[in-house]
Structure 1
Amino acid sequence: MDACTHPGKFYIRRSGAELHTGVKLLTGNSYKSPEESPPSEHKLRMPRGQSNWSDDAGNSNSIPRQSTPHQNPGPSSRSNPPNNESPSCNGFRLGVYGWRKRCLYSLVLGLMVMVILNLALTLWLLKVMEFSSEGIGSLRVVPGGVELRGQAAVLDALVASSVRSRRGRNLILESWSNFTASARAHDGRLLARFTLAEDKLDCISKGFHITDPSGNTLFSADEDQVVVGAKVLRVTGVGGAVFQGSVQTPVVRAESGHGLKLESSTRDLEVRAPQRIVIESWAGEITASCLRDMMLQSVAGAVRIDAKSVFLKGLRTASPRQSHTGSEQHSRSHQSSHEITVYQLCACANGKLFLARPEGVCQADDRSVCS
């Protein structure tokens, strides 16, 4: 004979004869007294060899039974709902009991606390960041982009197609160390970069152009040339302007009240023009000085000196021949001492100019004069 329990029912099976007992247990807080308990169902199956059933439903002493563990009826409702608990066999209950049940409740409680904390932190962040349907705080989402009302600190790189201020407001870009603006191609190549550092301004580009509002070029620089489109290029430094190559300009003029000086410290200074070269000084003088020779050369024309007075200082004077007597020379020198000394301007075969005495011929005995 074996015993097996199911929720609400108790079965006893015996070899050779079967005794079927169905018991409905009333469990729960509604259990009050044995009188109020629902009637039990007794199903007895007559063993082999017995002719009839016993009329006494409660007399079951004649039926041999196998002792089963005592089961305390648990609380249940009067409506006897369908019990979904797992069945137990041989007196072992299948379910979560003891420390497993406490661990499960602790886990559920911990999850509830975490969910509540996450919800509270989310609400706090929404309040602090001022999230709304329009944007975040002073950052508003507008058609075509975002609009910022106030100041913004960019901690990392800022990638945008355009940055502009509102109408009637200024746009200020400020950086503590340096400010860098870069332009890249679709494949990531660097096309241009503008860097404003503490003590310098760097620009990496194939060309640099500055124009006025009308579109006229004020300054342009590239690999081939530098163009200054302003009316006047003024250099106010003490050292002037230093050019390593050639300079092409229609006019070189000094500022009013200052002198103009063209100087080459260690090399030649050449001034060339296809038509004319004009050097003018309206209120001062023009001085040309050199250490060695100064040449004025005209290939197909002439060298003209047009002035009221032409001074040639430092010319050598040729000594006259010793053909006159001493009395004549003494008388002439005595007369010339009372008059202004006038010399003859003579030229050598090589073009060198020299002076000669007025009373003599225009020649010199000293060969070093024309050398």
Structure 2
Amino acid sequence: MDQSTTLDIEALKMTQEQYVLASQSIHLQRPGCDAVYPVGLYGWRKRCLYFFLLLLLVIMIVNLALTVWIIKVMNFTVNGMGDLQVSRDGIRLEGISEFLLPLYVNEIQSRKDSPLVLRAESNVSLNARNSQGQLTGQLTVDSEAVEVQCQRLEVRSSNSERLLFSATEEQVSIGTDKLTVTGAEGAVFGHSVETPLIQAVTSQDLKLESPTRTLTMEAPRGVEVSARTGGLKALCRKDLHLQSTEGEIFLDAAAVRLETLPLGTYAASSGPSSSSSPRAQKVYEVCVCPSGKLYLSPAESSSTCQAVGNICLWS
């Protein structure tokens, strides 16, 4: 055989081997694949998810409905809420407002056509504090009393120009033209009173009385007691002193009466006949003892006053 025939045979063998290999590779068994798992929720898990989604949707709807109802009931607007209106000047409340906690404000003012009323079940307290939070003033109004704690209390007129009343720890000042006390018992002062004028109301009596102590009226330039349309009466249980240290005491009247003066006795040795009895005696003279006591003595042609008489000895 020649050389070309040998090459063809070998090429045919190679082609046959390639065919066998190809056919074997086609019929080879492929390796087994992994198990396939389903994706998603199935069964009771899926039902629970749908239930929770439905419950959340119901809650959202109820919440939205409640929000709309609250806005409608409370009357929320752009300017405020119901009777509460917010503006640049502050907050305005209409009607009755109730505060359960302390209220801190700079100014409280009512409308021009209505008063400002503060009400509380126990008391109403207004406090003023400094920058450090310390209490500097307090006003408390309760069912028993009105208490004010401050360094100085002032009451001024409507135009705030005239001081009507002021009180401090040292003194109390009243700036009104007239102080009127309408109580049946009048005004009671535990200590001294300094005033330029004490005057009664028109058509009423003025009475100065000290039931258990003495009543003293003093002035550096004199004390004037006058009754223009009526009488003047001074009553005391023990002694009535009219004293002038540098001047005189004037009793200027059409008639000066000294009633219930004691009647002194006249000794026969000190003057002429004294046989007239006190009942027949019509004229008397006023005698003054060294102690200043006054008494009556029967009038005679000469003075019958005796410095050592029974009246002066026992005075």
Q: Same fold (TM over 0.5)?
A: yes
| Structure 1 residue 174, shift from structure 2 partner | 4.3
Return the match for 2:205 from 233, 239, 259: 259
Q: Spell out the pairing of 1:224-239 with structure 2 (5 A cutoff).
A: 224-239=170-185
1:98 and 2:40 aligned: no
CA distance in 1, matches of 2:208, 2:311: 33
Q: How many residues align?
A: 290
Mapped pair 1:52 → 2:30? no
1:174–1:349: structure 2 CA closer, same or farther, 3 Å change rule?
A: closer
Over residues 17-40 of structure 1, what are the superposed CA-to-partner deviations in whole Å (9 max), with x where a residue is unaligned? xxxxxxxxxxxxxxxxxxxxxxxx
- How much does 1:257 deviate? 1.5
* Conservation of the 8 A alpha-carbon contact between 1:181 and 1:195: yes
**Is 2:289 the counterpart of 1:341?**
no
Q: Secondary structure at the match of 1:370?
A: helix
Normalising to structure 2: TM-score of the pair? Answer: 0.78
Tell me which residue corresponds to 1:20.
none
Q: What CA distance in whole angstroms lies between the structure 2 residues aligned with 1:109 and 1:365? A: 127
Query: How many Å apart are 1:185 and its aligned residue?
Result: 2.3
Given the superposition, is the C-alpha separation of residues 202 and 63 from structure 1 closer, same or farther in structure 2, using an over 3 Å criterion? Answer: same
Residues of 2 paired with 1:277 and 1:295: CA distance? 13
RMSD: 3.2
The CA distance in 1 between the partners of 2:209 and 2:164, in whole Å, is: 27
2:192 corresponds to which residue? Answer: 246
Measure, in 1, the Cα distance between the counterparts of 2:168 and 2:274: 76
Tell whether the 8 Å contact from 1:164 to 1:171 is kept in structure 2 after alignment.
no
Q: Does 1:182 align with 2:127?
A: yes
Residues 1:320 and 1:329: Cα distance change in structure 2 (over 3 Å): closer
Change (3 A) 1:52 1:66: closer
Distance 1:146 1:342, change over 3 A: same
Match of residue 225, structure 2, among 250, 273, 279: 279
CA distance in 2, matches of 1:135, 1:295: 77
How many angstroms does 1:251 deviate by?
0.3
Instruction: State whether residues 318 and 366 of structure 1, in contact with CA within 8 Å, keep that contact through their aligned partners in structure 2.
Output: no
Structure 2 match to 1:290 = 236
Output the CA distance in 1 between the equivalents of 2:169 and 2:51: 76
Determine the C-alpha separation between the residues in 2 that align with 1:209 and 1:50: 127
* Partner-residue secondary structure (3-state), 1:124: helix
Q: Please, which of 97, 102, 106 is the counterpart of residue 153 of structure 1?
A: 97
Q: Distance in 2 between matches of 1:230 and 1:128?
A: 53
Q: What letter is aligned with 1:133?
A: V
Structure 1 residues 133, 310: closer, same or farther in 2, change over 3 A? closer
Query: Which residue in 2 is equivalent to 1:125?
Result: 70
Query: 1:313 — aligned with what?
Result: 259
**5+ unaligned residues in a row in structure 2: which ranges?**
1-18
8 Å Cα contact 1:320/1:365 also seen in 2: no
d(CA) in 1 for partners of 2:24, 2:76: 82
Aligned pair in 2 of structure 1 residues 187, 287: CA closer, same or farther (>3 Å)? Answer: same
Change (3 A) 1:307 1:109: same
Richer in helix (by share): 2
Question: Shift in Å at residue 171 of structure 1?
Answer: 3.5
Residue identity in the other structure for 1:134: N
Change (3 A) 1:279 1:120: same
Equivalent pair of 2:266/2:274 in contact (CA under 8 Å)? no
Deviation string 1:258-277 (CA, Å, 9 cap, x unpaired) is: 11111112222221111121
Unaligned runs of 5+ in 1: 1-48, 69-88
User: Do 1:343 and 1:358's aligned partners in 2 also have CA atoms closer than 8 Å?
Assistant: yes
Q: Which amino acid aligns with 2:22?
A: N
Shift of 1:349: 2.9
Query: Is the CA contact (8 Å cut-off) linking 1:321 and 1:365 kept in structure 2?
Result: no
In the alignment, is the contact (CA less than 8 A) between 2:155 and 2:165 conserved in 1? Answer: yes
Residue matched to 1:143: 88
Secondary structure at the aligned position of 1:52 is classed as helix
* RCO higher in structure (CA 8 A, sep ≥6): 1
The reply on whether 1:197 has 2:142 as its aligned counterpart is yes
1:11-26 aligned within 5 A: none
Aligned residues: percent identity?
Answer: 33
Output the CA distance in 1 between the equivalents of 2:274 and 2:99: 102
Alignment of 1:74-85 (within 5 A): none
Distance 1:50 1:278, change over 3 A: farther
Structure 1 pair 365/136, CA: closer, same or farther in 2 (3 Å)?
closer
TM value normalised by structure 1: 0.68
| Greater C-alpha Rg | 1
Whole-angstrom distance in 1 between the partners of 2:227 and 2:60: 92
CA shift digits 1:135-194 (9 cap, x unpaired): 22343332222334x31322323332222244x432332425343332222333222222
1:198 shift after superposition: 3.6
